[in-house]
Amino acid sequence: MIGIAKQIVRTLTEAGHKAYFAGGCVRDMLMDREPKDFDIATSALPEQIEKLFSQTYAVGKAFGVMHVVEEGHTFEIATFRSDSGYSDGRRPDAVIFTHAEDDAQRRDFTINGLFYDPLADEILDFIGGRDDLSNKLIRFIGDPHQRILEDHLRIIRAIRFKNTLGFGYHPDTYAALKKHAPLADKVSWERVRDELNKIIMARRAEVAFEDMQDTGVLPYVLPELEACKGVAQPPEYHHEGDVWTHLMQALTSLPEDATLNQHWAVILHDIGKPETFKIAERIRFDRHSEVSAELGEKILRRLCFSRKDIDEITWAVRHHFMMTELLNMEIGKQRQWFLDPRFPTLMQLFYADAMGTTPSSLHLYNQVKAAQEDCLRRFPELPKPLLTGEDVMKNLGLKAGPRVGEILQEAFVKQLGHELQTREEALEWLSTVTHST
Ligand code: ATP
Ligand code: MG
């Protein structure tokens, strides 16, 4: 991919423009990490970019942001710009197309403000980013207070980069985060979600959550998680400590190939414990799985997750306490559980829950795993779906298309989860489905 990106820079340069790799990819290259994508910053204007490449898409033409597709890869090419006037705390009121140095100044952190000229093999550092990279420092470009007031998401981004990269905060950065933490409340939930997703998929997620708590950001981002701090668990079963510690220990025990939904299932699996805490013969959290699933659904809806993801995550949360029940089921019923497309998420949650507990035991988990393997060896087939595409189209008056597939998938998941057991029930459910998502 780097070869194609370099070719794009060459094309722009040969047409008389300045063009460099910019931002995250330069940071990653200097850290010997594989960049996820190569963004290019250039003096060329959108109309000029359009003329130089055959496949271009204007994603934010007013901001000078274009996508160029070359050899099947999409690259973001953005005209050097300077932003001015952030009256909504999110995006600039106006942009001015300018030169590279100004473009560096508008970026968030020094380590994200570097350019690289791949033709000359040269770094362009207008903001002291190289020094901060070698000192592993997160430092705002310019005045941290003003930069946070311009775009409040930068509070969460600072915490994200510090922890995903394993860096530290510059003292001025830290002070500004603490001072402005309540502004995190005004960030749109979609943007919060995207940052949270990156945080929880990286190592050190537990330190990132500590940081959010310590700076005072967490009550505005995930108050339900904050509420788990300091809530005791029965010491006879949980030597690790409070609910928060258990959740963090479970989160860090997930294997590297765990999916995003599996991570969320782990974070949310005991989120209902503070609400259900009671003292009987010992500390108990009766019905905490259901309460966690309900609260989890509320959280995921707020964060604008898709219906399908919410269903998978909350299904696993709701059933995370049933390993013994599963082992005692008759095999026909067991099989339906094991074949459920959401089951791998539940399995991962069983694992993380056990590992997140001290002393931890994988005894039950291994039994479930063995039962699953045995069952799938004996009955590898999925049942026949109760509904057909024809049913969906006829009953809802829909034309063939992705929405039909989505509805069929949803029905099949419900069928495997025993919510729909007969064709009549499935048709009945179908009549309650709306056309759009
Ligand atoms: P990642 O590896 O997570 O993609 P990245 O540095 O590429 O990290 P992006 O969110 O993709 O981060 O943004 C690309 C670049 O755009 C950043 O490196 C930074 O220079 C700039 N940038 C992105 N978001 C902001 C923001 N909210 N404020 C200022 N600059 C930003
Ligand atoms: Mg990026």
Q: Which fold has domain 136-221?
A: Hydrophobic Seed Protein (1.10.110)
Question: Residue range 137-154: average pLDDT?
Answer: 97
> Are the C-beta atoms of 348 and 254 separated by less than 8 Å?
yes
What percentage of the chain reaches a pLDDT higher than 70? 99
Question: Residue range 380-385: average pLDDT?
Answer: 80
Burial per residue of 122-157, b for 16 or more beta-carbon CB atoms within 10 angstroms, e otherwise: ebbbbbebbebbeeebbbbbeebeebbebbbbbbbb
- Please give the pLDDT value at position 323: 93
Q: d(Cα 90, Cα 194) in Å, to the nearest integer? A: 15
Question: Residue range 116-131: average pLDDT?
Answer: 98
Question: Residue range 83-102: average pLDDT?
Answer: 86
Ligand 2 mean position, distance from CA 342 (Å): 30
- Atom 12, ligand 1: residue with shortest CA distance: 24
pLDDT tens sequence across 218-250: 999 999 999 999 998 888 888 999 999 999 999
Placement of tokens 């860096």 in the chain: 167
Ligand nearest to the CA of 112: 1
- Please give the pLDDT value at position 160: 98
Cα torsion 247, 248, 252, 253: sign: negative
Q: d(Cα 327, Cα 334) in Å, to the nearest integer? A: 8
> Are the C-beta atoms of 95 and 46 separated by less than 8 Å?
no
pLDDT tens sequence across 42-83: 999 999 999 999 999 999 888 899 999 999 999 999 999 998
Placement of tokens 């056309």 in the chain: 435
> Are the C-beta atoms of 286 and 243 separated by less than 8 Å?
no
pLDDT tens sequence across 156-207: 999 999 999 999 999 999 999 999 999 999 999 999 999 999 999 998 999 9
The CATH number of the structural domain formed by 1-134 is 3.30.460.10
Does ligand 1 have an atom closer than 6 angstroms to the CB of 107? yes
Return all residues near 286 (Cβ < 8 A) that are at least 6 apart.
Answer: 276, 278
- Please give the pLDDT value at position 65: 95
Question: Residue range 25-51: average pLDDT?
Answer: 96
Q: What mean pLDDT value characterizes the chain?
A: 94
pLDDT tens sequence across 337-377: 998 899 999 999 999 999 999 999 999 999 999 999 998 88
Q: d(Cα 80, Cα 233) in Å, to the nearest integer? A: 54
Which is more confident, 155 or 1? Answer: 155
Decide: helix, strand or coil at residue 168: strand
- Please give the pLDDT value at position 164: 96
Which pLDDT band, with edges at 50, 70 and 90, does 435 fall under?
Answer: low
Does ligand 1 have an atom closer than 6 angstroms to the CB of 36? yes
Cα torsion 94, 100, 101, 107: sign: positive
1-134 against 136-221: fold identical: no
Q: d(Cα 422, Cα 428) in Å, to the nearest integer? A: 10
Query: Per DSSP, what are the bridge partners of residue 81?
Result: 97
Domain boundaries, the chain: 1-134, 136-221, 245-378, 389-430
- Please give the pLDDT value at position 436: 60
Does ligand 1 have an atom closer than 6 angstroms to the CB of 24? yes
Report the candidate in 118, 170, 167, 125 with the shortest Cα–Cα distance to residue 144. Answer: 170
